[in-house]
Chain A
């Protein structure tokens, strides 16, 4: 039997099929929980926040355009919830003015050595991601752990694609600097 797409399941939910929503949750719970654990520096209330993400997704499911991809839509809800959680905790600085998306940037393209790069970086990032500034942390998580494309990350964060590229570049450079400072001569880069 052919597996249903997220979008076709979402369409069933929009039509009132509650059980279909359970199927969507089954597909996304693990991903959203991983995203939350890496993004939020206080993992104690992750379960409540993830639950809130799914509640909001259900309440607003009729705003989802089934002609588009479901994944960026639900990740966008998760992003909003996580940012709100960080604002409430006031443990991290979230800047409202960011010149990264004010001016155009030359597009940073994905390269052929990306797979090797990705695996290495994923391993290193795991230990340092919590120490990264929020604006770099999020695209790094979405790219290296959630395996999203630049375009999908741009849809989640509502940023120009070129800004996503520049943040990934700067995030990687910052990570390299931090790792080199903490482990001189053995950064793994």
Chain B
């Protein structure tokens, strides 16, 4: 008992002695405030990076029409899986994990089961991603113009926006539409039944060959000016369509 008391006293005496000699110093209040601010800024940066990545993912999916591919059956699903921007998807998952770990530091997060904060993050990311992807934000950053539809007669001779094939610079070039060989999005410019020609974002004219094997899950009621996604292997300027679907651009 005496020994225990002596031991306790020695811990206390040693610490008080070290404090008085200046060996142990109390951290100032600003240190903790600064650290909390730094953490909050870190959370905000990761959250922004996450929403940006998610919106870029949605943007690429919409731009390239990849999301339509699974409706064309197993082959469409294979094209869909091989064409997904996996790097971006992995980046989104990594950001979600980092954000979750960072947010767990706050009592509002750790007092609840992990599933709640994860679902909350997913909802914010999905909503933010879809909203930003719907704005011209990524289009302007990527210099990716919308499809140039055939102009009505009244526009002939009028000032026409400059044409170019500059869809995708920087990160957009690496992650964007150019890497998808079996998916072709564009606007129908003319028909030579049963085939038709589309103009893609690179202003290339592609002849789409429609055969008996071509799947048209949403009908074949296409018109000049319609934006479509064609799944099929490209050979030169021709694509033998495995599946065609109209998309809303």
Question: Which B residues lie within 8 Å of A25 (CB)?
Answer: 11-12, 15
Using A22-B16, A25-B11, A51-B14 as known contacts, say yes or no to A58 and B24 having CB atoms under 8 A apart: yes
Residue pair A62, B110 in contact (C-beta under 8 Å):
no
**Does any Cβ of A come within 8 Å of B154's Cβ?**
no
- The majority secondary structure among interface residues of chain A is helix
From A30, A55, A61, A103, B8 is in contact (CB under 8 Å) with A30
Residue pair B26, A102 in contact (C-beta under 8 Å):
no
Chain B residues touching A, range: 20 to 34
When each residue 1-38 of chain B gets 1 if its CB lies under 8 Å from chain A and 0 otherwise, what string results? 00000011001101110111000111111011000000
**Does any Cβ of B come within 8 Å of A95's Cβ?**
no
Residue pair A21, B29 in contact (C-beta under 8 Å):
no
Number of A-B contacts (CB under 8 A): 76
Using A21-B19, A25-B15, A47-B11 as known contacts, say yes or no to A161 and B25 having CB atoms under 8 A apart: no
From B16, B29, B115, A103 is in contact (CB under 8 Å) with B115
**Does any Cβ of B come within 8 Å of A154's Cβ?**
yes
CB distance from A152 to the nearest CB of B (A): 13
**Does any Cβ of A come within 8 Å of B111's Cβ?**
yes
Complex Cα distance, B18 from A63, in Å, reads: 20
From A54, A58, A104, B26 is in contact (CB under 8 Å) with A58
**Does any Cβ of A come within 8 Å of B113's Cβ?**
yes
Residue pair B26, A59 in contact (C-beta under 8 Å):
yes
When each residue 131-175 of chain A gets 1 if its CB lies under 8 Å from chain B and 0 otherwise, what string results? 000000000000000000000001000111111000000000000
- With A18-B20, A59-B24, A154-B111 known, 13 other A-B pairs at CB within 8 A are A16-B26, A21-B19, A33-B8, A50-B11, A51-B14, A59-B26, A62-B27, A62-B28, A62-B29, A104-B113, A104-B115, A159-B110, A163-B113
Residues of A bordering B, CB below 8 Å:
14, 16, 18-19, 21-22, 25-26, 29-30, 33, 47, 50-51, 54-55, 58-63, 101-105, 154, 158-163
A-B contact pairs, 19 of them (CB 8 A): A18-B19, A18-B20, A21-B16, A25-B15, A26-B8, A29-B8, A29-B11, A29-B12, A55-B24, A58-B15, A59-B25, A60-B27, A61-B26, A63-B27, A103-B114, A154-B111, A158-B107, A160-B113, A161-B111
